[in-house]
């Protein structure tokens, strides 16, 4: 399970549950059938205080948005909201605590409010309407930080530098970029590749060392592990494998902000130190330009402070 923030959909589990529900609902399955199928798939984690709320929250939020929230799903989600609020109140990091509490209280308010009229998720677009990001590998774009979160953190006016390094096929066939993100040290944009190299990479997540071989080919597990053992895996000072890539998701040409600044194509930049690249692109975390109350900017700001600034509690626990 990948988690890169406390937002409702800042984890792989919630995104997967949301997408699974919408896809099956489009196909004509009943809400009860879909719910039972998802709960069966996640049965082993429904007693886990970290995994279970992600499942129930995504189910309840998605069903509410389409006006089909089941009573039992609502009740379970509300139960986990109360438990999660108790846990969030124990967070040492004040900004993280406030963000987590705000997310939980907003969801509770939504689930206790009247649902919108029932509707089916929009049909998936035909092949002719599938989006393909036109960026080339090596292209670098600047994104100026202007959000309230950036102001709270004292980094408003600085820039995220976004560089395409690969691409990925996003359901049902959109081609989206896999990117590195850097943060400028001030409000000055780099002009040359050397100047670009001076900016700090934003760490997006990490993988535990013992999970470095995932996913393992179940048809030939021993051979697969042997082949992956030939790679060099460098851990950070906490024993984790740091990740720096992220899938930047857009499903139409109107999604990317129009005020992106193209800086040029820098093909030979210095890669992040000790970077771990997941063996399967599906395991690379993703961020949408906008998804509910989350934005690319907020997701990456939180990632920067959680990982680069070591505000995530797991780093502190490793120091104790």
Q: Quick one: 100 and 225 in the same domain?
A: no
pLDDT tens-place string over residues 34-45: 999 999 988 888
CA distances from residue 172 to 18, 132, 134, 179, 296 in whole angstroms, order as listed: 15, 12, 18, 20, 21
Mean pLDDT in residue range 66-90: 92
Position 2 pLDDT exceeds 90: no
The count of domains in the chain is 2
Q: Quick one: 181 and 151 in the same domain?
A: yes
Q: Quick one: 192 and 307 in the same domain?
A: yes
Both tokens assigned to 3 = 């988690």
pLDDT of 1: 46
Q: Quick one: 103 and 192 in the same domain?
A: no
Full residue range of the structural domain in which residue 192 is found: 127-319
Q: Give me the phi and psi of 168, to 5 degrees please.
A: -145, 145
Mean pLDDT in residue range 235-242: 94
Q: Quick one: 160 and 96 in the same domain?
A: no
CA distances from residue 231 to 225, 243, 279 in whole angstroms, order as listed: 10, 15, 10
pLDDT tens-place string over residues 46-72: 888 888 999 999 999 999 999 999 999
Does residue 122 lie within any of the structural domains? no
pLDDT tens-place string over residues 204-221: 999 999 999 998 888 888
Q: Quick one: 81 and 138 in the same domain?
A: no
Beta carbons within 8 Å of 299's beta carbon, 6+ residues apart: 4, 5, 7, 10, 287
**Dist CA 204 CA 244 (whole Å):** 5
**Dist CA 293 CA 102 (whole Å):** 11
* Rg of the chain, C-alpha, whole Å: 20
Closest CA to 67 of 115, 112, 121, 27: 115
Q: Quick one: 165 and 295 in the same domain?
A: yes
Task: Enter the DSSP assignment of 3.
Answer: B
Position 114 pLDDT exceeds 90: yes
Task: Enter the DSSP assignment of 252.
Answer: S
Q: Quick one: 240 and 290 in the same domain?
A: yes
Mean pLDDT in residue range 77-86: 93
Does residue 35 lie within any of the structural domains? yes
Does residue 2 lie within any of the structural domains? no
């Amino acid at each position: 399970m990948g988690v890169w923030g406390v937002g409702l959909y800042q984890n792989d589990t919630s995104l997967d549950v949301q997408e699974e529900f919408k896809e099956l609902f489009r196909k004509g399955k009943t809400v009860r059938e879909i719910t039972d199928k998802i709960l069966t798939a996640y049965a082993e984690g429904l007693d886990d205080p970290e995994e279970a709320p992600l499942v129930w929250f995504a189910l309840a939020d998605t069903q509410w948005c389409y006006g089909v929230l089941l009573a039992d799903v609502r009740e379970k989600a509300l139960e986990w909201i109360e438990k999660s609020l108790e846990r969030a109140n124990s967070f040492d990091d004040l900004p993280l605590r406030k963000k987590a509490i705000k997310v939980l209280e907003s969801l509770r308010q939504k689930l206790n409010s009247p649902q919108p009229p029932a509707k089916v998720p929009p049909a998936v677009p035909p092949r002719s309407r599938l989006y393909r990001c036109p960026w080339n590998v090596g292209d670098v774009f600047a994104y100026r930080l202007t959000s309230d979160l950036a102001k709270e953190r004292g980094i408003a006016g600085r820039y995220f530098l976004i560089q395409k390094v690969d691409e990925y096929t996003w359901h049902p066939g959109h081609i989206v970029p896999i990117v590195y993100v850097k943060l400028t040290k001030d409000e000055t944009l780099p002009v040359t590749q050397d100047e670009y190299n001076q900016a700090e990479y934003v760490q997006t997540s990490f993988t535990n060392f013992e999970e470095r071989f995932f996913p393992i080919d179940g048809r030939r597990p021993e051979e697969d592990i042997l082949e992956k053992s030939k790679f060099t895996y460098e851990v950070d000072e906490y024993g984790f494998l740091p990740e720096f890539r992220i899938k930047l998701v857009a499903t139409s040409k109107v999604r990317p902000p129009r005020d992106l600044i193209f800086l040029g194509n820098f093909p030979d930049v210095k890669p992040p130190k000790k970077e771990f690249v997941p063996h399967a692109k599906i395991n690379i975390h993703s961020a949408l330009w906008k998804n509910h109350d989350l934005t690319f900017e907020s997701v990456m700001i939180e990632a920067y402070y959680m990982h680069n600034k070591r505000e995530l509690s797991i780093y502190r626990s490793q120091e104790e």
